[in-house]
Amino acid sequence: MIETLLLWLFAGTALVAAALMLVLRHPMRVALALTATMLSLAGVYALLGVHVIAVFQVLIYVGAVMVFMVYAIMLLDVRDRSFTRRFSRLLVPGIAAALLFLAILAHGLWRALPGARRRGGRRALRLAAFLDRIPERVLAAFRARFGAAGRRGRGGAGRARSGTTASWITCRC
């Protein structure tokens, strides 16, 4: 019971501190929010039983990397006017691009639902079946491009494939 409560506490703290890193403007406050995120993640790792990663999180990331980042931030001129402006002038184009991306993603997911119709009256694949086939298609595309063609596609003399199944990954330089 107490472990579950602590897990939720550390996870919530990590989420809030990560959100603060996106909102805060002053570099030192962002560094402190990053430190809080890393310490909370170390607590989550410790509660999950991965003590080595929790110790590495504290020693390496919080101890070494954050000390370096805080040292670099202290070398900045904190009286700079760019820290007082709340938002960048690229905020509106960024929000427009994010909304366009989300609309395209929603449209693609909507068309992949079982009730959606495709050309020729065929039903679309279920979303889970479609997502399961993506790695196969990516690997097939790599095999088709690099596996059988060898260096011929880049102007070199093609080589024969070796007998291993993963030979298309190796460099033929």
pLDDT at 90: 83
Cα–Cα distance between 20 and 37 in angstroms, integer?
10
Task: Say which amino acid occupies 7.
Answer: L
- Provide mean pLDDT across the span 35-47: 94
Instruction: Provide, for the chain, the percentages of residues in helix, strand and coil under a 3-state DSSP scheme, each rounded to the nearest 5.
Output: 70, 0, 30
Residue 72: in which H helix or E strand, if any? helix 66-74
User: Looking up tokens 């399961």, which residue turns up?
Assistant: 132
The CATH-assigned architecture of domain 2-83 is Up-down Bundle (1.20)
**Predicted confidence band of residue 14 (pLDDT cuts 50, 70, 90):** very high
pLDDT at 160: 47
**Predicted confidence band of residue 115 (pLDDT cuts 50, 70, 90):** low
- Of 26, 35, 92, the residue nearest 58 (C-alpha): 35
Which pTM does this prediction carry?
A: 0.49
The string over 34-45, giving b where at least 16 C-beta atoms fall within 10 Å of a residue's C-beta and e elsewhere, is bbbbbbbbbbbb
User: What is the three-class DSSP state of 123?
Assistant: strand
Supply the mean pLDDT for the chain.
75
Q: Report which of residues 90 and 119 the model is more confident about.
A: 90
Phi-psi region of 111 (alpha: psi -120 to 50; beta: other; left: phi over 0): alpha
Task: Say which amino acid occupies 121.
Answer: G
The per-residue pLDDT for range 77-105, each reduced to its tens digit, is: 666 666 666 667 888 888 999 999 999 88
**Contact yes or no for 57/36 (Cβ under 8 A):** no
Domain spans of the chain, in order of start: 2-83, 97-150
Q: Report which of residues 128 and 76 the model is more confident about.
A: 76
